Chain A
Amino acid sequence: EDKVVQSPLSLVVHEGDTVTLNCSYEVTNFRSLLWYKQEKKAPTFLFMLTSSGIEKKSGRLSSILDKKELSSILNITATQTGDSAIYLCAVEIRNNAGNMLTFGGGTRLMVKP
């Protein structure tokens, strides 16, 4: 059975701190790993990672995939209160029926002023 595990489950930090969120997976037919930020509504796309060792950056957020370790990390530097959200990791797999995403349980991040 395909599995995606995120850690920690929740995290409380103060503004300006740097955080690292973890995602590990055990799946068959891996195609990509995606990170999403979810506040009150739908998940907002952050990154899609397909190649190992290549860091993707967007402002204060960055992410990297390690296919050997079957894991990915999401870093947020100089955190702000607006970064408070649930961060979801999802792995895209492909089988005979098509492509599908399996989500991890999410990391709930709270950034205090």
Chain B
Amino acid sequence: DTEVTQTPKHLVMGMTNKKSLKCEQHMGHRAMYWYKQKAKKPPELMFVYSYEKLSINESVPSRFSPECPNSSLLNLHLHALQPEDSALYLCASSGLSTATNYGYTFGSGTRLTVV
């Protein structure tokens, strides 16, 4: 299995809703990432989990709350989002040694629209 699976693929939520994005990988990668990508812009790093511990938080607002229940799963909990948070949210994973020659593997993303 060389995939990162993200669900849902599309999500429309109101500003008062609470929702979660899910990400799963079974490649044995011990680093997992959340990126946010706005239209016509490159992905921007939000969070990095290394061995299931949060190692990098790129000053992301608290309305985004990541969670790593185990080494294969990564969630992003959303609450009280703003319309400007509408974007493509990408999950990625990597082997910390980067010896696999696959580099980072990205999921297909969740396209989030906040109304």
Contacts and interface: CB of A to CB of B under 8 A. Distances in A.
Contact of B42 (A31, A44, A45, A88): A88
Nearest to A95: B56
Contact of B104 (A97, A101, A106): A101
A97 B50 contact: yes
B98 A42 contact: no
A48 B42 contact: no
A42 B109 contact: yes
Interface in A55-107: 88, 90, 92, 97-106
A21 interface: no
Contact of A106 (B33, B42, B48, B101): B42
Nearest to A46: B103
A42 B90 contact: yes
Contacts of A48: 98, 101-103
On chain B, which size bracket covers the interface?
A: 20 to 34
B96 interface: yes
Contacts of A41: 88, 108-109
A22 interface: no
A45 B102 contact: yes
A109 interface: no
A41 B89 CA distance: 10
B31 A98 contact: yes
B84 to A, nearest CB: 20
Contacts of B31: 98-99
A7 interface: no
Nearest to B58: A100
Contacts of B96: 98-99
B114 interface: no
A41 B109 CA distance: 7
A98 B103 contact: no
Interface of A: 31-32, 34, 36, 41-45, 48, 50, 88, 90, 92, 97-106
7 contacts: A41-B109, A42-B108, A45-B106, A50-B98, A98-B96, A101-B43, A105-B42
